């Protein structure tokens, strides 16, 4: 699996304001209920870890993570839809896990829709465990959808 993670064509960069048009293009194509440009701007403004993943020269995806009081929280992970299924989600998550560890956090948290089975499988395969449920967390076509809360202890990662 490390061959997937250690692809020399993959690079990570910190998201900048000038990256937002490309980020929004991916966000809108990947999610029915997507983040706004303002949300991304706010995340950068308050110092969240906003990271872009490039495959060669192509923006393949991104991740956003907050870090505070020894805890990291993955807020958004997205891969360009036409590049999904190639290990890019795993690469972004591993990058965020490594970054959270370097920032001396003990726990990494995230929420995921119960309907997002591929993401749940990815998180479980990387060592996350479900620790709770947030009722009616996400907007959905027919009202609201719960969020499954997953956590990983970074002292064991």
pLDDT computed for residue 78 by the predictor: 97
Does pTM top 0.85 for this prediction? yes
Q: What is the separation, in whole angstroms, between the first and last Cα of the chain?
A: 15
Looking at the predicted structure, is the pLDDT value of residue 2 above 50?
no
Local structure of 91: helix, strand or coil: helix
pLDDT computed for residue 63 by the predictor: 98
pLDDT band of 156, cuts 50, 70, 90: low
Mean pLDDT of the residues in the chain: 93
pLDDT computed for residue 7 by the predictor: 72
- Token pair listed for 2: 């490390």
**Nearest to 48, CA basis, from 119, 12, 100:** 100
pLDDT computed for residue 6 by the predictor: 59
Task: Dump pLDDT digits (tens) for 36-92.
Answer: 999 999 999 999 999 999 999 999 999 999 999 999 999 999 999 999 999 999 999
Distance CA(52)–CA(130), nearest Å, equals 26
pLDDT band of 1, cuts 50, 70, 90: very low
Mean pLDDT of 102-127: 96
- Token pair listed for 30: 């990947």
**CATH number given to 2-153:** 3.40.630.30
pLDDT computed for residue 97 by the predictor: 97
Distance CA(112)–CA(152), nearest Å, equals 14
Q: Which positions are catalytic? A: 111, 123
pLDDT band of 157, cuts 50, 70, 90: very low
How many whole angstroms from its chain centre is CA 43? 13
Burial of residue 140 (number of CB atoms within 10 Å: 0-12, 13-18, 19+): middle
Looking at the predicted structure, is the pLDDT value of residue 123 above 80?
yes
Three-state SS string over 15-75 comes to: CCHHHHHHHHHHHHHHCCCCCCHHHHHHHHHCCCEEEEEEECCEEEEEEEEEEECCEEEEE
Distance CA(37)–CA(83), nearest Å, equals 22
Do the beta carbons of residue 57 and residue 67 sit within 8 Å?
A: no
């Amino acid at each position: 699996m490390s061959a997937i993670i250690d692809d020399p064509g993959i690079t990570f960069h910190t998201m900048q304001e000038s990256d937002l048009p490309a980020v929004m293009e991916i966000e809108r194509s990947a999610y029915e209920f997507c983040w706004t440009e303002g949300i991304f701007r706010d995340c950068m403004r308050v110092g969240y870890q906003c990271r872009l993943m490039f495959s060669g020269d192509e923006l393949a995806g991104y991740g956003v993570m907050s870090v505070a009081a020894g805890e990291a929280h993955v807020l958004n992970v997205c891969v360009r839809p036409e590049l999904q299924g190639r290990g890019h989600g795993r690469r972004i998550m591993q990058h965020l896990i490594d970054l959270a560890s370097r920032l001396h956090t003990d726990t990494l948290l995230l929420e995921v829709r119960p309907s997002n089975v591929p993401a749940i499988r990815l998180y479980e395969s990387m060592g996350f465990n479900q620790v709770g449920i947030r009722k009616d967390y996400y907007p959905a076509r027919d009202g609201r959808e719960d969020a499954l809360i997953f956590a990983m202890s970074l002292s064991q990662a």
